Structure 1
Amino acid sequence: MTKFFLLLSAAAIASPAYAQDIPDPDAPEIVVTATRAAQPLSEIGQAVTVIDRAEIERRQTTIVSDLLATTPGVTVTRNGTVGALTSVRIRGAEADQTLVVIDGVRVNDPSSTGGGFNFGNLLSSSVERIEILRGPNSVPWGSQAIGGVVNIITAAPTEGVQARANAEYGYADSVFASAGVSGKSGPVSGSLTGGYLRTDGISSAASGTERDGYRQYGATGRVGVEFAPGIGLDLRGYFADSRVDIDDGFDPKTYVVADSPAYATTQELYGYAGLYANFADGRFNNRVAFTIADINRDNYSQPGGDVTFLGRGRSERYEYQGDFRPLDQVRVVAGVERENSRFNDGVTFAHTGITSVYGQLIVKPLDVLTVTGGVRNDDHDDFGSHTTFGANAALALRTGTTVRASYGEGFKAPTLYQLFSDYGNRGLDPETARNFDVGVEQAFLGNRGRVGVTYFNRRTRNQIDFRDCSPTELTTPSSICANRPFGVYDNVARAEADGVEFTLALRPVDALKLTANYSYIDTENRSIGDNFGNDLARRPRHTASVDADYGFAFGLSVGGTVTMVGDSFDEASNTTRLDGYALAGVRAELPIGERFAVYGRVDNLTDSRYETIAGYGNYGRAAYGGVRLRLK
């Protein structure tokens, strides 16, 4: 602990890291993730972090998960090279319990074992904004929002024509390029963004020597048509085609991950089609939509070799949402949804569905106080009905003090794989969680500084895990393990997490921006058995990030990021320790005229060697340089 805090202090003095702008009281931050309706951040009692396009470009970030790793309460693990399986855990929850939304489409993969989302293929090319909500939030979002929500929003068209592009080259023969154009004229608007990344990568196996490369090309687009004032059509689409070399071999002597010629491909297609009708000067807003998420995954033993894994996941959702303001102080957000999902692993084909209804009441009894309460019912085709509740309050005093408190419940239906695969169990109950948190934020230095602290407590019940079956269970006809020699999924796990999140944003002069955060997350396995009382796997107790940028009068900007992660364990038995590490990066950007800029960065400046998953390597020191173009 002493060493960790000394390192944190030294990093804060040297070149601090994570960035979230200090709120402008004259232009309040608007978020949509808390209630699925636009609200000022000052009216939300839940913990939400916002990362915008300016932050993404300032940080020169290619992979979205690299940004998430520097936000409070979030930890990230990756199986080696860029593009490999990447998991995001929020406040100690499982990675599969993070709901991911891209432009209104829930994109968690129905064909994955736990219904999770692979962040390895999510690039920053078209991302305009990221909202990270920490804690269960199933009332507006439904199943899977049990740990938190990561909401990805791409660029919306604005008046006139705008265009931007960038290209960079760097370590491991990496090439990253993206370009986008958007515009609006009268009732018609549209945008299109494309991106490409290719790299030789690193060996995913920490002991390996063969580089594992990655390639992705993709595009996003939007089209809007306003038929009459407040009435229109909204179309959105996302496509990505990815290929990554994977090390799935094992050294026969050490049983650790080893080089192999295997590779994996993924095709992702997400779509949104919606009609909106806003009446009474915005007091009664309506939206109906159809969304689709289609994910195809294939693993190959080698180029030209056999398919070793096949996954086909698809979900379709029909939804209506109404947003009604009968009074200035009262707002009702409610909706009804139907989701159909299916998966195919080459052996088993299965499908299921959920019908949901939810309602939220937002009340402002005082100008400085906002109280929100909600309830949701999900009726699953295979295991019946489940109801969740949530409530939060935000008190934004004129002294610059904001007090927030929230209670949220999470609900996650068993996945199709957990229900219907060869290891499935149709008697599973849904996973549930409850979380409460309370926090306070204080502005100072004439709103040039802001400091905050949040305490949270979460409990997870009926967590679904894979378990081996004993010889006795295998031969007991009434047991779910009967004739299951390789094991079965069951509601066997319980988990707890308590923690504290600290944040700091400081802008003492216009040229200098400094932010920092620290999270302490104490997780505990509460499942009866040998692992009772152990830390949850791959959940470090201590994480911190500090960030600073300085802009010179002649246009040059320089900055740095330091991220620190404490020790953790690789597995539930807590026998393999993953040592903590610190990563430092520096960057600079220089404008050339009004439209061009050149930039460069060095990641992992000290060439730190570390693992987030035992046996898998990570990048050492790496340098990149590029050029940026913007037309307005």
Structure 2
Amino acid sequence: MLWNKTNMKPIILYGAAIGAVLCVPGVAAAQSPNLVEAGAQDDDTIVVTANRTQRRLSDVGESVSIIGEKAIIERQPTEVLDLLRTVPGLTFNSNGGIGTSTSVSIRGANSDQTVVLIDGVKLNDPASPGGGFNFGSLLTGNIARVEVVRGSQSVLYGSQAIGGVINLLTREPTEDLAAFARAEYGERDTAQLVGNVSQRFGPVAVSAGGNYLRTDGISAFSRARGGIEPDGFESWGANGKVDVYLTDTISLDLRGFYADGETEVDGFPAPDFALADTDEISERTDFVGYGGLNASLMDGRFRNRIGFAYTNIDRQNIDRSGNSDVETFDANGENRRFEYQGVFEAADHAELVFGAETETSEFRSSSYGGPAATAEVGIDSIYGQVNLTPLAGLSLTGGVRYDHHETFGGNTVFAVSGAYTPNAGSTTIRGSFGEGFKAPALYQLYSEYGNEALQPEQSDSWDVGVTQRLVGGLAEVGVTYFRRDAENQIAFVSCFQNSDPICTDRPNGTYGNIARTNADGVEVGLALRPAAGFDLSANYSFIDTQDEATGNVLARQPKHKVSLLADYRLPSGIAFGGTVVQVGDSFDNASNSRALDGYVTVDLRASVPVAKGVELYGRAENLFDAEYETVFRYGAAPQTFLGGVRLVI
């Protein structure tokens, strides 16, 4: 394994500590934890993403995890990935340090089977190989809340939502002046500035912010295999929300998000064409915009929203090793969506959610200055869902969606879910079932690796779980079982020395459909508040994936993941905490011939108040300097120390 032998003892001790916590008799948890700010929520916590309208968590049948603003501040994350890696059922793969290509998978689904939203607007890149989203350069910045819904959400979110949905919410406009700022500095000349202000001015409420980060970085080529050249990263971004109240019942909703980053990357230079340190950079610009009109009718019982959403992600790679710069890759993905959504409270116990969307996606892609592949496709959709509370403690939902894809024609998906508590929330039983649909990405169809014979991916997924509160709500345990069966899952096919007919005229590879795949597993967790100010949560995920044609485990899908979070704040305001994440072994390729060793990382953090609303803070990331790879030959950040100051008013 790639761990440093001198670090094995503390790593084993931390792993044993996690195991001891999880072996408490009767411990189980699915959407862990549900204690307020212990990594979870109480019954009155409002969740938006699961049903595309505000509902209490106790009324939601889907598996949901929420990371709130307080928890985000306490954990001191730089990247969104720092938050997602502790969510049950989520795993990630990265081609090096911050800024490099990084994918996130939910319950063993392909990373491009996840819909990623920023303030409710789709972030997925139509020009990426699978139409998914690259998390590598996405910073926490002014993100104040994360909602993750696991399991198929195609009824409400359409194509791609086979694995689930990740919704990242920036700071909201406030009535009174509110400000958030932080500045930090650490190893490898890493510096970051973040700021956001919000206030209401008469009928206009505004929240606006920006962030900047630069670092010398690490070698994307694993240090354990000889990588020594640091690959730096620099990024700046902005976020904004404006609410304009035209009347008491009509308002304008404007949102924007922008990020501009440059990452030094490693490549495959001649004559060996093997991964090595190179002088190449990757530039990326993300822009997301939304404009909508909201109208609340019938004394608020009928809420309407009509809007336009726009996403554009532009990427370019440049090789600077020669006498002049050479463009090695260029791509642009654009998504335009007009949408209407209505929410109608038909009765005290019945709510209808319905809508229509028309979406157009475009992509452009070229390599080494060659001719660009371009394509455009449209998809029109209608959907409807009913949310019922027929009895006290019982909530039910059922929905259907029809998509008409310009290339693949019509498709209908169905979903149901329910939540039941017989004892006012002490015990909650949840379950959901959903069908999924994902059309092949434009890149998979029309790029130099494209295959126009590809068929859409389809899936059925379901889960069932129970949570139990104990000790007057100071502890919560639970368990969820899930399963997903998929047909025609799309995967890259290497054509090196491959005589398969699919490789005809495709020497560099292409894309093909895998007949059937499946994934099932268990998400287990525990949340405790043993003393005032002390929050402890632990999660264990078991994810068993399989290509049914070969019997092999799906590539880069570890079976086991454990995370432990502990935070303690003294009455004086001094706080300290830690995060431990243990990920099991996996395989880097579909043939299961190349193994990736599991790993353990330990992070510690502390903060000290120095004035009202002002704190000094610091953290140690990867405290025991674990060396590991989530993608073959690509490394991860070593032991890192950072510190800073933050302001919250």
State percent identity of aligned pairs: 47
Instruction: Indicate which of 444, 452, 477 corresponds to 1:426.
Output: 452
Selected match of 1:275 from 276, 280, 293: 293
Residue 624 of structure 2 is aligned to residue 611 of structure 1: no
Query: Which residue of structure 1 aligns with residue 430 of structure 2?
Result: 404
Shift of 1:468: 5.2
Q: Which residue is 2:339 aligned to? A: 319
Please name the residue that 1:495 is paired with.
517
Match of 1:464 in 2: 490
The answer on whether the counterparts of 2:608 and 2:616 sit within 8 Å (CA) in structure 1 is yes
| Residues 292-343 of structure 1 deviation map (CA, whole Å, 9 limit, x = unaligned) | 0001100011275111000011010000000001101011100000000101
Task: Note if 1:216 corresponds to 2:223.
Answer: no
Match of 2:35 among 22, 42, 55: 22
CA contact (8 A) 2:32 2:88 kept: no
Which residue among 129, 136, 145 is the counterpart of 1:129?
145
Please report how far the alpha carbon of residue 54 of structure 1 lies from its aligned counterpart in structure 2 after TM superposition: 1.1
CA contact (8 A) 1:464 1:493 kept: no
CA contact (8 A) 1:96 1:114 kept: yes
C-alpha separation between the residues in 2 aligned to 1:150 and 1:397? 30
Quick one: distance in 2 between partners of 1:467 and 1:193?
Answer: 43
Amino acid at match of 1:349: T
Q: CA deviation at 1:555?
A: 1.6
Where 1:307 maps in the other structure, the secondary structure is: strand
Q: 1:299 aligned to 2:324? A: no
CA deviation map 1:534-554 (0-9, x unaligned): 111111111000111111222
Structure 1 residue 621, shift from structure 2 partner: 1.0
Q: CA deviation at 1:177?
A: 0.9
Q: Which residue of 2 aligns with 1:455?
A: 481
2:172 counterpart of 1:146: no
- Residue number among 485, 502, 524 corresponding to 2:546 in the alignment: 524
What TM-score do you get using the length of structure 1 for normalisation? 0.94
Q: Provide the aligned C-alpha RMSD in A.
A: 2.3
| Counterpart amino acid of residue 301 in structure 1 | D
Distance, in Å, in 1 between the alignment partners of 2:648 and 2:513 is: 52
Question: Which one-letter code corresponds to 1:153 in the other structure?
Answer: L
Structure 1 regions of 5+ residues with no counterpart?
none
User: Secondary structure in 2 aligned to 1:160?
Assistant: coil
Q: Which moved more, 1:424-433 or 1:121-130?
A: 424-433
* In 2: Cα distance, 1:155 partner to 1:27 partner: 23
1:285 and 2:307 aligned: no
Contact 1:43 1:396 in 2 (8 A): no
Partner of 1:246: 265
Residue 362 in structure 1 maps to residue 362 in structure 2:
no
Identify the match of residue 568 of structure 1 among 570, 586, 601.
Answer: 586
TM-score with structure 2 length normalisation? 0.92
Q: 2:347 is aligned with what amino acid?
A: L
Q: Which residue of 2 aligns with 1:64?
A: 80
Q: 2:470 aligns with which of 430, 440, 444?
A: 444
Which one-letter code corresponds to 1:195 in the other structure?
N
- The 8 Å contact of residues 244 and 251 in structure 2, kept in 1 or not, is answered as yes
Q: 2:125 aligns with which of 109, 113, 134?
A: 109
- Are 2:350 and 2:389, in contact at CA under 8 Å, matched by a contact in 1? yes
Offset, 1:422 = 3.1
CA distance in 2, matches of 1:201, 1:468: 31
Corresponding residue SS for 2:160 = coil
Secondary structure of the residue aligned to 1:67 is helix
Are residues 1:119 and 2:135 paired? yes
Equivalence for 2:533 = 511
Residue in 1 aligned with 2:330? 310
Give, as a single letter, the amino acid of the residue that structure 1 aligns with 2:535: K
User: Counterpart amino acid of 1:446?
Assistant: G
Alignment-mate amino acid for residue 474 of structure 2: R
User: What's the secondary structure of 1:418's corresponding residue?
Assistant: helix
Residue 10 of structure 1 aligns with which residue?
17
What amino acid is the match of 1:29? T
What displacement does 1:511 show?
2.0
How far residue 398 of structure 1 moved from its aligned partner, in angstroms, is: 2.2
The Cα of 1:185 is off from its aligned counterpart by 3.0
Q: Distance in 1 between matches of 2:246 and 2:579?
A: 47
Q: What is the one-letter code of the residue matched to 1:22?
A: L
Cα distance, 1:19–1:115 mapped onto 2, change above 3 Å:
same
Give the distance between the partners of 1:471 and 1:292, measured in 2 at CA.
42
Alignment map for 1:166-205 (pairs within 5 Å): 166-205=182-221
CA contact (8 A) 1:596 1:628 kept: yes
Query: Which amino acid in the other structure matches residue 401 of structure 2?
Result: R
* Structure-2 residue corresponding to 1:87: 103
- Contact residue 604 and residue 622 of structure 1 kept, 8 A: yes
Which residue of the other structure, out of 193, 208, 232, is the alignment partner of 2:251? Answer: 232
Distance of aligned partners of 1:283 and 1:618 in 2 relative to their CA distance in 1, 3 Å threshold: same
Q: 1:383 corresponds to which letter in structure 2? A: F
CA distance in 2, matches of 1:23, 1:245: 40
**Contact persistence 1:12–1:546 (CA under 8 A):** no
Measured in 2, the distance between the counterparts of 1:490 and 1:436 equals 26
Give the distance between the partners of 1:542 and 1:251, measured in 2 at CA: 38
8 A Cα contact 1:356 1:378, kept in partner? yes
Q: Secondary structure at the match of 2:88?
A: coil
Q: Which whole-Å CA distance do the structure 1 matches of 2:175 and 2:376 have between them? A: 43
Instruction: Find the aligned partners of 1:59 and 1:484 in 2 and give their Cα distance.
Output: 47
- Cα-to-partner distance string for 1:402-443 (whole Å, 9 max, x where unaligned): 000100111111111122223323332211111110000001
SS in 1 for 2:112: helix
- In structure 2, C-alpha distance between the alignment counterparts of 1:36 and 1:492, rounded to whole Å: 32
